[in-house]
Amino acid sequence: MIVSADAGSRGGKPVPYKPLLDEAISLSKYKPEAVLLVDRGMSAMNLVAGRDQLWGNLREKHLRTVVPCEWVDATHPSYTLYTSGTTGKPKGVQRDTGGYCVALAASMKHIYAGNAGETYFSTSDIGWVVGHSYIIYGPLIAGMATIMYEGLPTRPDGGIWWSLVEKYKVTVMFSAPTAVRVLKKQDPALLTKYDLSSLRALFLAGEPLDEPTAQWISAGLGKPIIDNYWQTETGWPILSLCNGVEQAKSKFGSPGKAVYGYDVKLLDDQTGEELVGPNQKGVVAVEGPLPPGCMQTVWRDDERFVNTYWKSVPGKLVYSTFDWGIRDADGYYFILGRTDDVINVAGHRLGTREIEESIAAHPNIAEVAVVGVADQLKGQVAMAFAVLKNPALVTDDASALALEAEVFKLVDKDLGAVARPARVRFVTVLPKTRSGKCLRRAIAAVCEGRDPGDLTTMDDPAALQQIKDLVTP
Ligand code: AMP
C-alpha cells in the first residue's frame, strides 16, 4: 500500500504529488494493491477506481480501532533509503529495527539530551535520513512530542521557526547550516523577538558548518550550537559532543569527537596506514563492527555493500565514510570534504554521476562533466559542462539558454529540482588526461578560481582554457 497526499506546499505554492505517484506506479514492475490519499484540498486528483481511496472517509470508520503490535526480529528491515555514491546507480541503505531503536533511544539521551514530555523540533524533511531519525523515530521513542513543519524558514517571515519554539516550548532543535545561512539574510532582531527560554541547544548537521555561520547563530540566539556529523548510512551521529554524558566545549568548525560505539580512524588513502598524529589529513574510517543503527547492507546487494564501503582503503577491511578529515591534539575532528564524486548542495547529497547520466540523455548532448563548486549560501552547487553532438544547433546566447532550459527540465524530471545544476555551459571539448579520464577536479578548481594543480597528464590545455574563459567574469 502507498500512503500519499494530493500535494505538498513549498513557498506557499502547491507541489502536486498525485501525478508523480501515478507515473511512478505506471513505471514500476510491482504495483501496489491500494493507494491511500489524504486530500489537503490543494490540487485536484484523478482517483483510480478500485485502487485509490480517500483517507477522510476511512478515518471516520476506523478511528477507534485497536491494532495489535506486529512483532518482528531485531534484524527485520525497518526501511530502505536511497543515497548517492560514485556511480550513477543510487544505493538502497537498508536499516534494521532493533539496533536502530537502541541507537536512537541512546542518542536522544546522550547527544540531544531530550526528555520524555518535552518537544523536539527538527526542521528536516521526513524523506531524508535526519527526518527519519529525528522527526519520527527518535523523538517518539524518547516519549517526546515532535514538530513536523512544512515550508520555508522565511515564510511568512524569518521568525517563523522561533515563534514555533515559543508556542510549543521546544527544548531541542535540529536544523542544517544552509537554513541558518538563509536566516542570516533576514532581520537579526527576529532571533530575539520570541521567548526561547525553553530551548537548550540547536543541533546542526548534514554539511560543513562554517565558523562565521556558527558564531552568528550562537550569538544571535544565545544558545549552544552543536555540530554533528553523520550519514544516511549510519542513521545517527558518528561525530558529536555527548553533552548528555559529560559536558564538552564546542569548537567552531568541528563536529566534535567520535561518538561512543564508533571506533573512528584516520587512514592514509594510498597505504591504508593509520594516521595517529595531530592535524594529519586522512580518510575518515570506522573500524568494524559498526554500532547499532548503522546500515545492515545495500538493499539486495550484499556484494556491493562490502565492495563499496569496506574495501576502498588498501589492505584493510574497514568502513569508509568517503570523507577527508583531520583530528587536532584535543581529539576534535574537522571534516574537509568528500573523497568521491558526491557533492553537498544545501545539505542535499547528490552524485555528480547521476546528474551527468540525466543530462547525457538529451539528444543533442554527446558528453558532459558535472562538478561541485563552492557557493556562499548552499555550500556547493553543481556546474555542468557539455559537448554538443550537433554544435550547429547552438549558435548564439539565445539558443544556448534554450538548450540549457531543456537540460534543466530533464534533470528536474529525473532527479528533482534539488539536483538541477546552477548552469549548463557548452564547450567543444572536455579537459581529459591522455588516457581519457575527465579532469573533474581541475574543472572544479578553475570554477572556484583556484590553481588547477598538476596538469602534465592533460591531453589538450585549450580545453581547460575554454572553461576558464566561460566562468571568469
Ligand atoms: P547524507 O548521507 O545525505 O546525510 O550526507 C552525508 C555526508 O554529508 C557526509 O558524508 C559528509 O560529507 C556530509 N556531512 C554531514 N554532516 C556533516 C557535518 N556536520 N560536517 C561536515 N560534513 C557533513
C-beta of 137 in contact with ligand 1 (< 6 A) = no
Please work out whether the CB of residue 349 comes within 6 Å of at least one atom of ligand 1: yes
473 residues of the chain, pLDDT tens digit each: 999 999 998 888 999 999 999 999 999 999 999 999 999 999 999 999 999 999 988 888 999 999 999 999 999 999 999 998 777 788 999 999 999 999 999 999 999 999 999 999 999 989 899 999 999 999 999 999 999 999 889 999 999 999 999 999 999 999 999 899 999 989 989 999 999 999 999 999 999 898 889 999 999 999 999 999 999 999 999 999 999 999 999 898 999 999 999 999 999 999 999 999 999 999 999 999 999 999 999 999 999 999 999 999 999 999 999 999 999 999 999 999 899 889 999 989 998 988 998 999 999 998 999 999 999 999 999 999 999 999 998 999 999 999 999 999 999 998 989 999 999 999 999 998 887 788 898 999 999 999 988 787 788 888 999 999 999 87
3-state class percentages of the chain: helix first, strand second, coil last, to nearest 5: 30, 25, 45
Q: Which three cell numbers stand for residue 223?
A: 544558545
Q: Residue type at 437?
A: K
Per the structure block, which three cell numbers stand in for 376? 556562499
Q: Which atom of ligand 1 is nearest to the CA of 209?
A: 20
Considering the domain 342-471 in this protein, what is its CATH number?
A: 3.30.300.30
Q: What is the pLDDT of residue 108?
A: 98
CA of 209 to the centre of ligand 1 (A): 10
Q: CB of 90 closer than 6 A to ligand 1?
A: no
Query: Which CATH architecture describes the domain 81-338?
Result: 3-Layer(aba) Sandwich (3.40)
CA dihedral 204, 207, 208, 214 (to 10 degrees): -30
* pLDDT at 11 (0 to 100): 83
For residue 270, report the phi and psi dihedrals to the nearest 5 degrees.
Answer: -90, -40
Asked if domains 81-338 and 342-471 share a fold, the reply is: no
In this structure, are strands 257-258 and 13-16 parallel, antiparallel, or unpaired?
unpaired
What is the reported pLDDT for 87? Answer: 74
Asked whether the beta carbons of 290 and 258 are under 8 A apart, the reply is no
Domain map (residue ranges) of the chain: 2-62, 81-338, 342-471
In this structure, what C-alpha cell is assigned to residue 459? 591531453
Q: Which H/E stretch holds residue 338?
A: strand 333-338
Contact 155, 162 (CB under 8 A): no
Q: Is 227 in the pocket of ligand 1 (CB under 6 A)?
A: yes
CA–CA gap between residue 239 and residue 325 (Å, rounded): 11
Cβ 85 under 6 angstroms from ligand 1: no
What is the maximum span of the chain, computed from C-alpha positions, in angstroms?
Answer: 72
If you measure from the C-alpha of residue 237 to the centroid of ligand 1, how many angstroms do you get, rounded to a whole number?
A: 10
> Cβ–Cβ contacts within 10 Å for residue 215, how many?
13
Secondary structure of 375-442 in the HEC alphabet?
ECCCEEEEEEEEEECCHHHCCCHHHHHHHHHHHHHHHHHHHCHHHCCCEEEEECCCCEECCCCECHHH
Residue 205 CA, ligand 1 centroid: distance in Å: 7
- pLDDT score of 200: 96
Determine whether the shortest distance from the Cβ of 129 to ligand 1 is under 6 A: yes
